[in-house]
Amino acid sequence: MELFEFISILKNRKRTVLAIVLLTLLLAMVFTLVQPFKYRADLKVLVIQNFSANIDPYTASKSNEYLSNVLARVIYSNSFYNNILASEFDVDKNYFSGDVKKQMEKWAKTINAKVINDSGIININVYHSSRIQAEQIAKSISYILQTKHALYHGGGNNVKAQIIDEPIVSRFPVKPNIILNLALGLIIGLFLAFGYIYLFPEERFDVIRLFEKKKKRKNLKNKYLVNSNDLQELKINNNSNIALKQEVVEQKVVENNLLFEVDIDLDQGIVEKKVIGDGDIKNVFKRQHLDDL
């Protein structure tokens, strides 16, 4: 298929594109809303070492980078997590429920620690559904890094963790990212729509048309059970509409009356009826008058 031909088909199938895009956007919104909303607390820590005067700057920079990477990984450890819970800050221990494995998985989802290039600066993010708890955990991390960092390296007092940005908590939830999710939904929707039209360029595969046809069949293909005395004449016109000349009202089937089943298929233009019972039948039938559908 050539490009201009495909563009021409797209213009004629705008309803299909719109339907698929709206569907993916709806799914993206549902996916977004079912996730818990979380606030974020940010802080930055600078790792500093005391070096002798004759050490070259490159070696000092690499040493700081190494220590900052070590401390960034240590934040995810069970030892650091236990220090957080044991700190004087009001961290909700019930938030990290379950066994040790589940607690650590929860802790790993709560924090994000990364070193900024080779600067020796650790950027730390804390995510929590409570704004207050996000701030408390961030302050606890800051305190542990400042007072107990020596537990996780061999530099002793020659290493210092300096807080360069105090914890700052977002005013509004940052997770899930609604704008990003909707943007991805839009891109995926366009991709799926273009792919669908490319694979099924015929007009008969139009999504809206298929939906309307299915709905029409559901509404217009019915079964009516009436007795032989009150079986009304069925009429099918060019618009595939069905009308009953007279409303079928509630009544009982009397003895020796036949009971018919009427199958109506508008798409094929067929009306079939067959006897499904006779004799002393005591059923009550009531059907609404069939208006234009």
Q: Which three-class secondary structure state does DSSP give residue 285?
A: strand
Residues, the chain: 293
Own/partner pairs, 160-163, CB within 8 angstroms, 24+ separation:
160/47, 160/48, 160/49, 160/50, 161/45, 161/46, 161/47, 161/48, 161/71, 162/45, 162/46, 162/47, 162/48, 163/43, 163/44, 163/45, 163/46
Question: Distance between CA atoms of 218 and 117, rounded to whole angstroms?
Answer: 62
* C-alpha to C-alpha distance for 67 and 64, rounded to whole angstroms: 5
The answer to whether 44 touches 115, Cβ cutoff 8 Å, is no
pLDDT above 50: residue 221? no
> Each residue of 63-84: b (16+ CB within 10 Å) or e?
bbbbbbbebbebbeeeebbebb
CA dist 84 and 136 (Å) reads 10
Tokens of 96: 């990290």
Output the pLDDT for position 54: 73
Span 153-164, pLDDT tens digits: 877 778 889 999
CA dist., res. 179 & res. 216, Å (int): 37
Most confident of 121-125, 212-216, 224-228: 121-125
Tell me, what's the pLDDT at 214? 62
Q: pLDDT-based confidence at 131, cuts 50/70/90?
A: very high
